[in-house]
A and B are shown apart, each in its own frame.
Chain A
Amino acid sequence: MWVYEKKLQYPVRVSKCDPLMAKFLLEQYGGADGELAAALRYLNQRYSIPDKVIGLLTDIGTEEFAHLEMIATMVYKLTKDATPDQMRAAGLGDHYAAHDNALFYQNASGVPWTAAYIQAKGDPIADLYEDIAAEEKARATYQWLIDLTDDVDLQDSLKFLREREIVHSLRFREAVEILKEKRDEKIYY
């Protein structure tokens, strides 16, 4: 089971009301390489992966939910109290028509999240390579999001999330190395 902890993993500060940036950030909320996709990908793959790497998939999958909450916090703060006119000016008029200021699992273009974004091939190497690719794609997305804002507080939180993709990528690469070793060889420390 899971328990909730009433705190963010990392502080999220935004310095202005900016619904347009909130729209861009949705890419990491309900997009193909976003945090929801990441969490569900790893927590689903863990049922069919060798025992040695189940812990890693469980822990990274759990951390992704903390990142999802950080992205939600950014979107929430950037759109909090934004008027319908401000939402419309940010290209979120269609979002407002369906959702008011509610969050919705969709990407920056308004496409709803789909399970088709994530794979579970049942082959441990194929699945871990997908995970490594997903982390690198999420890292790239964070780079382009950092490029799209001049809010240094928001950039700070996005830089934290970008670095986490790097650490996760390394751990998945190590998981591949662990699965490459023969039964009685020990390559890891």
Chain B
Amino acid sequence: MHKMVDDAYYKQLHELQAVDFVLVELNLYLDTHPMDANAIQQYNQYAELRMRIAHQFESQYGPLMNFGHSFSSVPWAWNDTPWPWQV
């Protein structure tokens, strides 16, 4: 059984990629600028935003992460397509 993804999938995925990218950039920056309180505040703010967006994405398209970092519906949703390289 293959679920086809809709336009909204790509749109929501793109939003998540954008927010996650800000977090990657701030993370690497903070690794060499550990005293920058403004950047840490922005990092925490985006981490919270990220949780909301990821939760919304997962409620529609299934779990993003394995090993207990995401919830699953029945049947086990982790195996469902599409995998990242397939979309």
A residues with CB within 8 A of B? 3-12, 53, 55-56, 59-60, 63, 69, 72-73, 76-77, 167-168, 171, 174-175, 178, 186, 188-189
Contacts and interface: CB of A to CB of B under 8 A. Distances in A.
A171 B64 contact: no
B85 A6 contact: no
Contacts of A8: 17, 84-85
A175 B63 CA distance: 36
Given A3-B69, A9-B24, A73-B84, A59 B31 contact: yes
B35 A189 contact: yes
B65 A6 contact: yes
B78 to A, nearest CB: 8
Interface in B4-57: 10, 13-14, 16-17, 20-21, 24-25, 27-29, 31-36
A168 B27 CA distance: 12
A174 B69 contact: no
A72 B46 CA distance: 29
Given A7-B84, A72-B85, 16 more contacts: A3-B66, A5-B65, A6-B63, A6-B78, A6-B84, A7-B64, A9-B21, A10-B21, A11-B14, A59-B27, A69-B84, A168-B28, A171-B29, A178-B32, A188-B34, A189-B33
A22 to B, nearest CB: 13
A73 B85 contact: yes
B42 to A, nearest CB: 14
12 contacts: A3-B65, A3-B69, A6-B78, A8-B84, A9-B21, A10-B17, A11-B13, A56-B31, A59-B28, A63-B24, A63-B28, A175-B32
Interface of B: 10, 13-14, 16-17, 20-21, 24-25, 27-29, 31-36, 62-67, 69, 78, 83-85
B64 A6 contact: yes
Given A11-B14, A63-B24, A56 B32 contact: yes
Contacts of A59: 24, 27-28, 31
Contacts of A10: 17, 21
B19 to A, nearest CB: 12
B27 to A, nearest CB: 6
